Amino acid sequence: MVVVIVIGLMLLLGGIVVLLSNIGNMKRRARIIATPTSAVAHASGNGAVEIKGRIVPSDQGVIHAPFSGRHAVVVRVTVEEQRSNGKNTYWHTLFCETDSRLFFIDDGSGQAARVVPSNANVILDKQQIANSGTFKDAPPHLVEFLASRGQKTTSWLGFNKSMRYQEEVLAAGDPIYAIGPSRRDAGPPVNEGYRVAPSSELVLFHAGKGDGELIITNKTEEELVSKLYWGFVAGAITAGVGTVMCVVTALAMLMKG
């Protein structure tokens, strides 16, 4: 019974950790639900704005994703190595890098919003591009990529390491959802036929934590809200199961004693 209590305590503590780590996600979820979607052409640029559309590269161009070769405006690459600790194996992150370029969101309203992705919370799904192991060499371009960062795909004995290479990409034409602070900058003059009038450009940017956070994702709003919710629920369920195990086992021990 003591073992059951120990397991229950571990579940309880683990659940509490997950709950606490997801409090920020629940606040994000509430902010997303409370912010209506705006058309770029009609957004005031005075405060938080929610935009949906498709990605259009800016004059900064695109990034050549180092693993897949895709052309993107945001790329995050992660390289992990499988390691062992006694009987347990786990994936150790060797490094995780993000690169980005300014881009536009075209929502079909007649104007495009400029997005400054620096420091934004970019939420994407990881795609495993390649893996290597004892009987499988890493592709040459990945060997070169690692070497440029002082890493090797082989051990000091010359054997291949068990590694996986993952990539998260926002590419031109991808659907995009963005929510965060906004402003209106001066845009290029517009020829209205009888006169040249000034124009403005909606800009989304990251301004800090909380309401100042810029969130960018290729998920739909509904998918994002669900993702942010279920992490918190998983923590609550785990903590609840651990609590029940501890209480029930403790009561059984008291009754038996």
Q: Are 224 and 213 in contact (CB under 8 A)?
A: no
pLDDT of residue 249 exceeding 90, the answer is no
pLDDT bin (cut points 50, 70, 90) of residue 238 is confident
User: Which run of H or E residues covers position 114?
Assistant: strand 112-115
Assigned domain for 57 exists: yes
Assigned domain for 202 exists: yes
Strand-strand pairing, 88-100 and 163-171: unpaired
Least Cα distance to 211 among 94, 49, 16 occurs for: 49
pLDDT of residue 230 exceeding 90, the answer is no
Assigned domain for 226 exists: yes
Assigned domain for 256 exists: no
Q: How many domains does the chain have?
A: 1
Per-residue pLDDT tens digits for 129-147: 999 988 888 889 999 998 9
Per-residue pLDDT tens digits for 167-220: 999 999 999 999 999 999 987 766 555 554 557 899 999 998 888 999 999 999
Assigned domain for 157 exists: yes
Assigned domain for 257 exists: no
What domain range is 86 assigned to?
2-249
pLDDT of residue 234 exceeding 80, the answer is no
Whole-model pTM: value is 0.81
Assigned domain for 254 exists: no
3-state secondary structure of 227: helix
